Structure 1
């Protein structure tokens, strides 16, 4: 009974202001839904590339949204690899992630490339950047060349087949839907579409729970 009441409440109080968001217009269903990092939370996955100016300009908008992220939502970043020259910085992100150094590296690396207009085109240049931001050279070498980082990097090469990705930044909601600023009508609007799809997933999950009673 409680699950039915939860479902009714979600249906009544879901934000009707977003009711005009339509599949095929502001967002797209992913042909083959992908597994997510957490079974009991709704995943919002950001696909990005450090060399992308659109990703750089989206970052502060995304950070504002994350300040009020709902408790039932988990946020995950995934560097996309849509070309050979994207791989180096993707491995850099995963290196920072495994070293628990994303706070030290992520925004500074974006700023270095887009604000300071510098380039990182080799492993040695990337290593120097990490060392300058508090990561030891040995930790960088061991992690950058680790099986775990290489495995994650190889998965990032599959974003076209997994998510139907054609450009970044793209946000994927619960492995089922994707949206972009171009589709939604801007960065802020893209996050409104994300909020709408999060609500859609809440309703679907509540319905499944209620049906299982």
Structure 2
């Protein structure tokens, strides 16, 4: 990825968050969900990133999200959720869940972004995807194909579609906190550009709000 390295981004975020967190305001820094969604991570505050591999803003945001994940509290659970508005988005979601099924998300999540945005490969085309997978050291092409077409992956894609609707996701990347709040780069624009350090602050403040409400 030809962007700010994750370690440098982490340093930026830590520096930005070193002072007292700025208070967040509804409909400015985040959007409250009209209907709260039950988190799947019992006993933890759940943070979800709704994303698409074909989304340029998601590609740009990934180093900041990766840096935030590296220092998140242990009582916070993070998950990626592929955004599935319609059938045309299903192939992208299946790529993610096939990697997840093989335990390869950490190793290949950014590489998929790079293939799409730096090498301009349309990985949602199955033939192009198969060729790319076959060229990747560390992926068994046969096992990937089996996972991609598996019942389990298809079920997860359907769940992602349900979540996309339930969370009322209208753009990506969007970060959902505790099943109650939506935020992301579009809520933290400074000088016409997203302020990723501010996104980090907003997420942390929303987590703090949720912990305070639940007495954690």
Same fold (TM over 0.5): yes
The whole-number CA distance in structure 2 between the counterparts of 1:113 and 1:141 is 19
Moved over 6 A (4+): none
2:160 maps to: 156
- TM-score relative to the length of structure 1: 0.84
Cα shift at 1:162:
0.9
Unaligned runs of 5+ in 1: 1-14, 208-213
Higher helix share: 1
1:141 aligns with 2:145: yes
Structure number with greater Rg is 1
Q: Is this contact kept in 1: 2:53–2:113, CA < 8 A?
A: yes
1:59 aligns with 2:44: no
The whole-number CA distance in structure 2 between the counterparts of 1:132 and 1:206 is 50
Q: Is this contact kept in 2: 1:45–1:77, CA < 8 A?
A: yes
1:73 maps to: 76
Deviation track 1:75-126 (CA, whole Å, cap 9, x = no partner) reads 1001101243321111010000011011232111101111222222422322
Q: Is this contact kept in 1: 2:121–2:128, CA < 8 A?
A: no
1:129 maps to: 132
> Per the alignment, do residues 112 and 148 of structure 1 end up closer, same or farther by CA in structure 2, a change over 3 Å counting?
same
Q: Is this contact kept in 1: 2:94–2:157, CA < 8 A?
A: yes
Q: Is this contact kept in 2: 1:27–1:184, CA < 8 A?
A: no
1:46 maps to: 49
- TM-score relative to the length of structure 2: 0.83
1:201 maps to: 210
The whole-number CA distance in structure 2 between the counterparts of 1:16 and 1:137 is 48
Length, aligned pairs only: 192
Q: Is this contact kept in 2: 1:105–1:130, CA < 8 A?
A: no
The whole-number CA distance in structure 1 between the counterparts of 2:164 and 2:143 is 31
